[in-house]
Structure 1
Amino acid sequence: MGPTNGGILETPALDIETPGILQRVSEEGGGYTFARMAAAARDGDARAAEVAREMAWEQLHCGPWHSVLPIWRDAYSMACLHVAKHHFAGGDFSETIRVLDLGLIMGGTLLRVDLENAVDKVMAVLEERENGGNNGEGSDNGGGLLFSSADFNEAEVLRSLPAKSLSSKLVARRSGLSLEGFLRDYFLMGLPVIISDSMSHWPARARWNNMEYLKRVAGGRTVPVEIKELRKDILVPDYSYAGGGELRSLNAWFGPAGTVTPLHHDPHHNLLAQVVGKKYVRLYAASLSEELYPHSETMLRNSSQVDLDDIDDNAFPNVRDLEFMDCILDEGDMLYIPPKWWHYVRSLTPSLSVSFWWSNPEGSP
């Protein structure tokens, strides 16, 4: 049975931009055959829509990503919308969502509003069907927990950490830290700090440990680490506007126990918010960069050659003696990591975190 919510996906941006995309893909990308297939897809030919999507996909993978003509990314978005329309009209909602997600991940920006609105419509239809007309009541309750503190064996978990963990200098922990105090004592000093008790008003604190909720909003999705449906559950902390900079990136990170992010540094201020579960974090000051043996290749210079879980003392003889700070992030903690500070992260349990990256004002050091 087909969908009850109109039977079609509305695509106003596609309707407006189609002539320009087809002209550009023909003139700039030599995609005359694609243009013919896309025109047929617009007229209702499902097979032509699939062929057009396959042709655009091949163009996206014909060489290094930076060498792909931007028009082919918009062409891929166009083809995904045509294919998604056919699946939606036929009632195949899971395939509709998969195609739309691929369009969002691999496509251009010109038709992004149509892709996002189409996802919202399909998800609404799915939610209505799953709730069986109960208006979502009780949707945040019930279901299994992603993490339960009752199942956490601290002694066992701590044995998995790198040598000397939690035996030296712990990261400072402040509860209810004012913005003024954050600026004065940590931001301007370039020092890490854990800020506790500052996320209790986030809907995510109540929702993200519920497996049924996560399955409902993102369980059938093909997504990168940013998950749009979960964005409404978090709030950007005032701390991430410190110094008058600009928020550069907001990412959600999900992983099982034992997931490791090797030692590296980032160019921006970073506020890592632990929503569900626990993580171990080790930090080395930016001044120790050379002692941490960064890779020589340009693309990897922010990553260390040192494996903290299995240090090669012959290759890196002095690493064990370097000073570091470390901590265990608990649910509700935010960790401020200054720019260029090296950090290693290990999930001690199933974990959901959010990171906020922001920059200094233009022209600042």
Structure 2
Amino acid sequence: MKLNLQEVPRVKTITKQEFIKHYFKPQKPVVIERYIEDWPAFTKWNLDYMKQVAGDKTVPLYDDRPVDYKDGFNEPHATMKMSEYVDLLKKEPTKYRIFLWNILKEVPQLQKDYKYPNFGLRLMKGLPMLFFGGRNSYTFMHYDIDLANIFHFHFEGEKQCILFDQKQNKHLYKIPHSLITREDIDFANPDFNKWPALKHAQGYIANLNHGEVLYMPEGWWHYMRYITPGFSMSLRAIARNPKNLGKAIYNIFFMRNFDNAMRRLKGQKWIDWKNEQAIVRTNKSNNLK
């Protein structure tokens, strides 16, 4: 048995009006296949080019280890020179990923390789973020703290994305006071005996290839798995729905600080309690024993 996923709709290209009408207003995902072929990045951006322009930069690396109470919010698990990291990606599968790497700050010359697309939403121009991963590395199922509208541009190789909207929360074993689901769920191949509520979750799946862009609506859950080594850039626009904007403000100014305080106060007991509550609350919502 597999997750109940439908393919994200695909278009070759799109106008601002079409995007607003068919995808932004109804908050539906879409893959746009040929939107950035006029960007220099479309022909230039690959792992070798990143090694060339950013090889001497020290980059933060993350893997798939479970959250530990001693870890700060988004603290890296290791660091490495970009040149060494690219060599590692090409040589063998690795769980090390780079995420939320701000290219404006780190390698300003990369700005010349892309344009800010006009989808009819005001993009946050100070936050173009890069994400890298090795073969079969993945991110935990999560949604972003600011519940932004996200445009995810993929480069080199292939990447699989599984998406759920916030209406699916009760089926996903969401961790309270957090933005993730249980980290021991393998969304690529879930164990429905262990996680029976997942059978009721309805989501989307898309495999992104070089140059394709995925639109993820406000606050959508996403799990990303690198089928081959590669990298992506995310551009974001602030949540427009007042409810989502309110949640974003709550997450940034209260939830994150509360969670960090409880980690300091209770240590691993806090993490263990949250993991247990994810099961208790999901079972209750789904009338499971």
What amino acid maps onto 1:278 in structure 2? E
Q: Is the 8 A contact 2:171 2:200 kept in 1?
A: no
Aligned to 1:355: 234
Q: Structure 2 CA distance, aligned partners of 1:316 and 1:184? A: 36
- Out of 58, 81, 85, the residue aligned to residue 222 of structure 1 is 58
Q: Is the 8 A contact 1:245 1:361 kept in 2?
A: no
Aligned-residue sequence identity (percent) comes to 28
CA gap 1:221/1:258 in 2 versus in 1, 3 angstroms? same
Kindly state the Cα deviation for residue 234 of structure 1 after the two structures are TM-superposed.
2.0
CA gap 1:247/1:164 in 2 versus in 1, 3 angstroms? farther
Determine whether 1:257 maps to 2:135.
Answer: yes
Q: Which moved more, 1:199-208 or 1:186-195?
A: 199-208
What amino acid maps onto 2:57 in structure 1? R
Q: Structure 2 CA distance, aligned partners of 1:245 and 1:251? A: 12
Deviations 1:180-229 (A, max 9, x none): 00000000001000111111112112212261x33221111114522332
Q: How does 1:335-350 map to 2 (within 5 A)?
A: 335-350=214-229
Determine whether 1:235 maps to 2:115.
Answer: yes
Q: Structure 1 CA distance, aligned partners of 2:236 and 2:165? A: 18
Q: Structure 1 CA distance, aligned partners of 2:241 and 2:170? A: 27
Q: Is the 8 A contact 1:245 1:360 kept in 2?
A: no
Kindly state the Cα deviation for residue 278 of structure 1 after the two structures are TM-superposed.
1.0
- Out of 179, 186, 191, the residue aligned to residue 302 of structure 1 is 179
CA gap 1:357/1:223 in 2 versus in 1, 3 angstroms? same
Kindly state the Cα deviation for residue 328 of structure 1 after the two structures are TM-superposed.
0.7
- TM-align CA RMSD: 2.4
Kindly state the Cα deviation for residue 295 of structure 1 after the two structures are TM-superposed.
0.6
Deviations 1:227-252 (A, max 9, x none): 3322322222212x52x565563101
Q: How does 1:92-107 map to 2 (within 5 A)?
A: none
Q: Is the 8 A contact 2:128 2:234 kept in 1?
A: yes
Q: Structure 2 CA distance, aligned partners of 1:339 and 1:361? A: 8
CA gap 1:193/1:361 in 2 versus in 1, 3 angstroms? closer
Q: Is the 8 A contact 1:278 1:329 kept in 2?
A: yes
CA gap 1:302/1:168 in 2 versus in 1, 3 angstroms? closer
- Out of 177, 180, 183, the residue aligned to residue 20 of structure 2 is 183
Q: How does 1:106-121 map to 2 (within 5 A)?
A: none
CA gap 1:342/1:278 in 2 versus in 1, 3 angstroms? same
Aligned to 1:42: none
Q: Structure 1 CA distance, aligned partners of 2:6 and 2:27? A: 16
Q: Structure 2 CA distance, aligned partners of 1:295 and 1:335? A: 26
Q: Structure 2 CA distance, aligned partners of 1:237 and 1:355? A: 12
CA gap 1:317/1:276 in 2 versus in 1, 3 angstroms? same
Q: Which has the larger radius of gyration?
A: 1
What amino acid maps onto 1:218 in structure 2? A
TM-score in terms of structure 1 length: 0.49
TM-score in terms of structure 2 length: 0.61
Determine whether 1:198 maps to 2:77.
Answer: no
CA gap 1:210/1:359 in 2 versus in 1, 3 angstroms? closer
Kindly state the Cα deviation for residue 339 of structure 1 after the two structures are TM-superposed.
1.2
Aligned to 1:289: 169
SS in 2 for 1:238: coil
Structure 2 residues not aligned, in runs of 5+: 61-100, 246-289
Kindly state the Cα deviation for residue 356 of structure 1 after the two structures are TM-superposed.
0.8
Q: Is the 8 A contact 2:134 2:228 kept in 1?
A: yes
SS in 2 for 1:199: coil
Determine whether 1:327 maps to 2:206.
Answer: yes
Deviations 1:68-109 (A, max 9, x none): xxxxxxxxxxxxxxxxxxxxxxxxxxxxxxxxxxxxxxxxxx
Q: How many residues align?
A: 196
Is the strand fraction higher in 1 or 2?
2
Aligned to 2:152: 272
SS in 1 for 2:202: coil
Kindly state the Cα deviation for residue 254 of structure 1 after the two structures are TM-superposed.
1.7
Aligned to 2:280: none
